[in-house]
Amino acid sequence: MPKIKHALFCRILSYAVFGGIPIAFLIVLPLVFDAFPSLPDVLGIAIFILVALGEIAFLFQNFDVLVAMDAFLASTHCFQTARKYFPLPRGFSEKSLNGKLSRFGKKCDPLAVSPRPDMLRYKSSAPVTIYSCGIERIVMTYRAELLTKELYHSIMNSAVANSKALAGKKKHIFLDKEQKKSPLNRSTVVIIYAKDIDPRMKDETWSIVCKNGGDELTNAMLPCIIELRDGRCTFDSVRVPYIGFGYPAKNRGIRLIRKYVFGGKLPLEGESDRLDAEVKDLDTEQSLWAFYGQLKRDFREIMGADKKRFKKMSHGEIVEDDGFVYLKLGENGISLPVELDEETKTVDIEESDLWDFPKHNKVSKARQAQIKDIIGKYYRDRGYTVKFHKLGE
């Protein structure tokens, strides 16, 4: 039985089982009737229709569970192929890497912001999907004898300013209407050569570089600290799960680092530098089928609990629980994911255009505006700065 610790294999297998086997059955069925011509054609047509309807009904009833399982397996695989830091390749040199980077894109003049990057390269490509109006990749390098937290933040402020100055520098023609309305897909890789690192910063290097990722989907800032003395490279190597829509900007940045710093392949042999599991106390030794069954039961319990919650709530009532805010308007209820930051007193809320109760019906634009006003006021009255965003933004 496949175990979920083999996340990539389980993901491929789930596609094969839940999609491939029914399709294979529908392909084999006509061959069976060719081998037994005495069987009536109407029987073959009836079986074909029943199998197709059964597959559609199964996918419809379990769509949320299958999507959640696929997202979990994709995310798990991304964590499995990431590390807190990587040993530099044998024979690595700053001069050699700079030589490779000098052939990437076009040279640009940096802004008069201190510290200035030693190298600034820009490359823009035309989009191939409707999810962006252009694909921009920027690489810049800095150098530090002793990298401290203060110097690191100064470098990142400089990098952000230089990256923003290049946004939309190259305009692409022949874009369709949807592409013109889409945002730029921008990846900025900031390579910092550090001869040494302040001991007060060394143990926090991983957590520090992970705080400069942008939204990761359309805009990603990827600092990459190369410790020359210790031969170590630290950057946020956790890719964003790709589910078939716009390719995440962060993943493009990781590909650049992998190609130019490591020659195309990240060294994943180390065990001590593995990342903690995204889901705590999860038994990765359980089979894919056991995990699917448990996930299905959990989903049914959550949906049942949400229905009970909305039935008890009154019109206009707001309830917060476990990273969600619940609002009931009339007979309908909606739940939105929220992220609270108590230090900055900000709240980030993900919008939705579907009711959660009593059915997943479409929410009108007028109702969506009303929902944002009510929930926004609820948090602003508590002293928070409120930001709404759509899924994927």
**Do 112 and 60 share a structural domain?**
no
Q: How far apart are the C-alpha atoms of 12 and 162, rounded to whole Å?
A: 41
| Residue that finishes a domain, picked among 61, 79, 97 | 79
**Do 217 and 338 share a structural domain?**
no
Q: How far apart are the C-alpha atoms of 273 and 79, rounded to whole Å?
A: 12
In a domain, 277, yes or no: no
**Do 345 and 239 share a structural domain?**
no
Question: Does the pLDDT of residue 242 top 70, yes or no?
Answer: yes
Q: Can you give the pTM of this predicted structure?
A: 0.74
Half-sphere exposure of 239 (CA within 13 A, CB side): 24
The stretch 21-26 carries a mean pLDDT of 63
* Cis, bond preceding 199 (omega within 30 deg of 0): no
Write down the pLDDT at residue 29: 65
| Residue that finishes a domain, picked among 53, 79, 105 | 79
Contact 333, 355 (CB under 8 A): yes
Largest Cα span, the chain: 84
Tokens 């994709």, residue? 74
In a domain, 291, yes or no: no
**Do 202 and 144 share a structural domain?**
yes
In a domain, 288, yes or no: no
| Residue that finishes a domain, picked among 79, 97, 129 | 79
**Do 88 and 70 share a structural domain?**
no
In a domain, 279, yes or no: no
Write down the pLDDT at residue 281: 59
In a domain, 174, yes or no: yes
In a domain, 1, yes or no: no
Confidence of residue 161 (pLDDT cuts 50, 70, 90): very high
**Do 166 and 145 share a structural domain?**
yes
**Do 239 and 99 share a structural domain?**
yes
CA 329 to chain centre: 32
Digit-coded pLDDT (tens) for 64-94: 788 888 888 888 888 888 899 999 999 899 9
| Residue 275 buriedness (CB in 10 A; 0-12 / 13-18 / 19+) | middle
Phi/psi of residue 195, nearest 5 degrees: -65, -35
Adjacent-strand bridge partners of 333: 328, 357
End-to-end CA distance of the chain: 38
Contact 186, 123 (CB under 8 A): no
Per the model's pLDDT, the better-predicted residue between 69 and 303 turns out to be 69
Q: Three-state SS for 174? A: coil
The contacts of residue 123 (CB under 8 Å, 6+ apart) are 104, 105, 106, 136, 137, 138
Write down the pLDDT at residue 22: 62
**Do 238 and 119 share a structural domain?**
yes
**Do 200 and 336 share a structural domain?**
no
Q: Where are the beta strands (DSSP E) in the chain?
A: 86-87, 106-107, 119-125, 135-147, 185-197, 219-227, 232-234, 318-321, 324-329, 332-341, 346-350, 385-389
In a domain, 191, yes or no: yes
Adjacent-strand bridge partners of 49: none
Write down the pLDDT at residue 367: 93
**Do 213 and 171 share a structural domain?**
yes
**Do 185 and 99 share a structural domain?**
yes
Instruction: Give how many domains the chain has, as a whole number.
Output: 3
**Do 91 and 54 share a structural domain?**
no
In a domain, 269, yes or no: no
Give the DSSP per-residue string, 215-237.
TSSSEEEEEEEEETTTTEEE---
Q: Which of 63-67, 199-203, 329-333, 339-343 has the lowest mean pLDDT?
A: 63-67
Question: Does the pLDDT of residue 280 top 70, yes or no?
Answer: no
315: containing domain: 300-389
